[in-house]
Amino acid sequence: MRLWGETRLWRAAAAVGLCIVNALFLFWFLRKQPDHLVAFQTVPYSPYPRYNSASWLRRWRGEHVSCEGPRGKLLNQSAHDWVRARIVSPDSYPQPLLGDSEVFGVQDGVCFDSYDRLAPYGFEPEETDKPAVDWDSVPWAELQERCIDQNRERFHPEARASKTARMPAQSTAIPADSMQSPLQRTPSKTSAKYHHRTALLLRTWTGYKYRPNDLHTIRALITELSLLSGGEYEVFLLVNVKEHSKFWKQPEEYQRLLDEHVPREFHNISLLWSELPLLRNWYPEVGDWQNYWHQFMVLQWFSKTHPEFDYIWNWEMDARFIGNPYHLFEQAARYAKAAPRKYLWERNARFYVPGAHGNFQEWLNDTHTTIETAARDGKLEPVWGPLPYNASLQSPIGPAPPRSLEEDNFTWGVGEEADLITLLPMWDPVHTAWTYRDKIWNFLPGIRPHFSQADTIARYFHHAEFAKIPRRTFINTVARFSRRQLHAMHLENVAGRTMQAEMWPATVALHHGLKAVYAPHPIWGDANYDVHAVDDVFNANDNKPARWSSQRDSVYNRDREGYFGPFTWFYNARYPRELYRRWLGYESIKGTQDDGERWPMGERNTLCLPAMLLHPVKHVEGEDEE
């Protein structure tokens, strides 16, 4: 008995000792690495409206009907289709250097590891008990169509597309009524409104190599934008056919191109198009139809042939969003809708640097004071209403201001949906050294760039009169367009006028008096850079007040754009791919200062990242990728 009692006492003492050791280790770990401890308990992540609640039903027509997902079950009943997130303190990860989560509206109290985020869409880095999905057989087009039909009472009758409207357009002829302004939906006689519809166009091309992560990403976009919203969004692959083919006349050729260049599961959501003859037939007066220079001509074609969509998001295959895309797009629209038009064009050019500017209201106050002072001193004339280059040639389709600039108390435009939403600032390129600032077609009749094999970018093309043409630019082509915005661009192209792609949409909005808004989503750097230096570089103005990024020291000049390299959103940044690879669990690559220690870790020793946009993200899979 004594031996037994001694053994029991020894075991008890050992257990107590082990508990003490564990407690001491946990205490040390919490003190030593507080930013890296993430609770392993996850929760379903659903940043959608409270569909069918009393407040929602007062605002919107119809009822939200849950739709079927890729596993053949209703999405509100299939746990295997749910994305999961981890609740964390925003202090668990570094603060963004540009923009802000709270201002933009994306939830900053959660993070995602790659498995919880992408497992519903086929990302399986380890054994799982999830039922296998035959992804090749998932009828994505049918799922989207059924979802829209089940929710049809929520949408205006003209926005409920038929199957024929979704089929590839076989004609390259321009519609006879294309010059008419987009039809305005007949307003509801009740206070509840029909919900608008938005298309997401994924820009891809023949020869594109779809990697597993591309497939996971496209499936997530369809499910989270279209199916979970009940058809508010619809996702398409817009496939640029690079080879010579008359596919628009030959169904068997159309199918051959799909078979060779598009994963089977996405065949029925793919629209094939080519620069010739489509764009040449639509816009013969331009004289050039290369997608490199004119990426939005095909959006105009899509909008005219798919009038059921009020808005279109142009999306790149190498863009990634760690969070929920519905949340991203809705919050961008919310921010833009609330923006007043007063000083909007001037505000659009300036980055918000929270560490240097304080809270957002302080940034607004400083921005407006700077603009007002510059205007009072005769150094700036704020934009107020349409600003056409040539009033005798251009007929602005946007509204005239209801009052003078001085009389307006930041009320005009509040509550007005934006015609153009960008994810980087819109700035004036005229006095910068930006490479493409003079790529202008036919604003001076007959004056346009000509390209050759020896000079593929018409490097020295210039005209002195170009300095008089008001312009605005935003970098990369990810943006949301209203039907009115695309109609204005269409009218200009029909007349033969256009500009380089990144300079074109914002310039048209400026000329036509449309509402264009830069939405300041959070952008991170690969290190904790000096915030005042960041402000000096990214808002450089050559000591000219309120001329942010619009002078010879612009950060968008070729000799300065390298400053974007260690940031998470710019067309040639290095950091996005590195960060995304680590998030997926791949080994680090060289080229950034971030060693991964600044971010919380998920359960599988991968990063747990907040909702962030990343671009570009190319070729992420495999340790041998360069």
pLDDT value at 189 more than 80:
no
442 inside domain: yes
Q: Which residues pair with 240 in a beta bridge?
A: 205, 273
Nearest-angstrom CA–CA distance, 349 and 546: 9
Of residues 197, 201, 474, the one with CA closest to residue 319: 201
At 383-411, the pLDDT tens digits run 999 999 999 999 999 999 999 999 999 99
Q: Which residues contact 377 (CB under 8 A, 6 or more apart)?
A: 545
- Does residue 601 lie within any of the structural domains? yes
Q: How far is CA 494 from CA 284, 286, 300, 469, in A?
A: 8, 8, 11, 19
Residue 425 CA, chain-centre distance (Å), reads: 13
Residue 173 forms part of a structural domain: no
Q: What is the pLDDT of residue 13?
A: 42
Q: Is residue 174 part of a domain?
A: no
Q: Is the pLDDT of residue 584 over 70?
A: yes
pLDDT tens-digit map of 197-213: 999 999 999 999 999 99
Instruction: Please report the pLDDT score of residue 31 as a whole number.
Output: 39
How would you write 71-111 as a 3-class SS string? CCCEHHHCHHHCCEEEECCHHHCCCCCECCHHHHCCCCCEE
347: which residues sit within 8 A by CB, 6+ positions away? Answer: 339, 364, 367, 368, 371, 518
Question: Which letter does DSSP use for residue 60 in this model?
Answer: B
* pLDDT (mean) for 214-230: 99
What are 72-116's pLDDT values in tens digits?
999 999 999 999 999 988 888 899 999 999 999 987 789 999 999
Per-residue pLDDT of 518-539, as tens digits, reads 999 999 999 999 999 999 999 9
Q: Omega into 520 within 30° of 0, i.e. cis?
A: no
pLDDT-derived band at 164, boundaries 50, 70, 90: very low
What average pLDDT does the structure give for the chain? 90
No. of helices (H) and no. of strands (E), the chain: 18, 14
pTM of the model: 0.91
| CA quadruple 99, 104, 108, 112: dihedral sign | negative
Under a CB-based contact definition with an 8 Å cutoff, are residues 436 and 502 in contact? yes
Q: Which two tokens stand for residue 89?
A: 């303190």
Confidence at residue 9, expressed as pLDDT on a 0 to 100 scale: 37
User: CB-based contacts of 564: which residues, under 8 Å, 6+ apart?
Assistant: 555, 570, 572, 573
- Our count of domains for the chain comes to 1
Side chain identity at residue 320, one-letter code: R
- Identify whether 183 is part of a domain: no
Give the pLDDT of residue 446. Answer: 96
pLDDT band at 167 (very low <50, low <70, confident <90, very high): very low
Mean pLDDT, rounded, for 233-252: 94
Contact by Cβ (8 Å): 543, 421: no
Question: Is 121 part of a structural domain of the chain?
Answer: yes
DSSP string covering 515-547, please?
A: -EEE----B-BSS---HHHHHHHHT--TT-TT-
Q: What is the dihedral of CA 285, 291, 293, 297, to 10 degrees?
A: 50
Between strands 479-482 and 420-422, the pairing is antiparallel
| Contact assessment for residue 564 and residue 570, using Cβ atoms and an 8 Å cutoff | yes
CA distance 168 to 549: 41
Element (H, E) at 312: strand 311-316
Spatial separation of the C-alpha atoms in residues 40 and 397, rounded to whole Å: 54
Rounded to an integer, what distance in angstroms lies between the CA atom of residue 251 and that of residue 266? 17
In angstroms, rounded to a whole number, what is the distance separating the alpha carbons of residues 112 and 84? 7
The mean pLDDT of 132-155, rounded to a whole number, is: 97
The pLDDT confidence band at residue 190, using thresholds 50, 70 and 90, is low
Looking at residues 304-324, what average pLDDT do you find? 97
pLDDT at res. 588: 74
More confident residue, 596 or 561: 561
Helix axis angle, 483-494 relative to 504-512, nearest 10°?
A: 100
DSSP-derived secondary structure letter, 368: H
Q: Which of 251, 225, 274, 230 is nearest to 480 (CA)?
A: 225
Task: Give how far Cα 426 sits from Cα of 504, 537, 620, Å.
Answer: 11, 16, 30
Q: Which two tokens stand for residue 35?
A: 């930013």
Cis peptide before 616 (omega within 30 of 0): yes
pLDDT of 625 over the 70 cut? no
**Element containing residue 273 per DSSP (H, E):** strand 270-273
| Token pair of 60 as six digits | 């919107």
Q: Give the pLDDT score at 269.
A: 97
Structure tokens at 214: 């591309």
Q: What is the pLDDT of residue 233?
A: 98
Average pLDDT over every residue of 163-189: 61
Locus of tokens 């402000």 = 535
Task: Give the model confidence (pLDDT) of 346-386 as tens digits.
Answer: 999 999 999 999 999 999 999 999 999 999 999 999 999 99
Element (H, E) at 258: helix 251-261
Asked if the structure places residue 268 within a domain, the reply is yes
DSSP helix/strand/coil, 354: helix
Cβ-Cβ contacts under 8 Å for 542 (sequence gap 6 or more): 551, 552, 553
Helix axes 483-494, 297-305, angle to 10 degrees: 120
Query: Is 614 within a domain?
Result: yes
Closest CA to 113 of 92, 133, 135: 92
Closest residue by Cα to residue 447 from 392, 497, 381, 500: 497
Paired with 271 in beta bridges are 238
Q: Is the pLDDT of residue 6 over 50?
A: no
H-helix or E-strand spanning residue 31: helix 2-32
Identity (one letter) of the amino acid at 247? F
For residue 19, pLDDT over 50 is answered with no
| pLDDT above 80 for 118 | yes
Residues of the domain holding 615: 30-167+193-626
- Could you read off the pLDDT of 461-481 as tens digits, one per residue? 999 999 999 999 999 999 999
CB distance 296 to 314 below 8 Å: yes
Here the tokens at position 104 are 């933009």
Q: Is the pLDDT of residue 624 over 80?
A: no
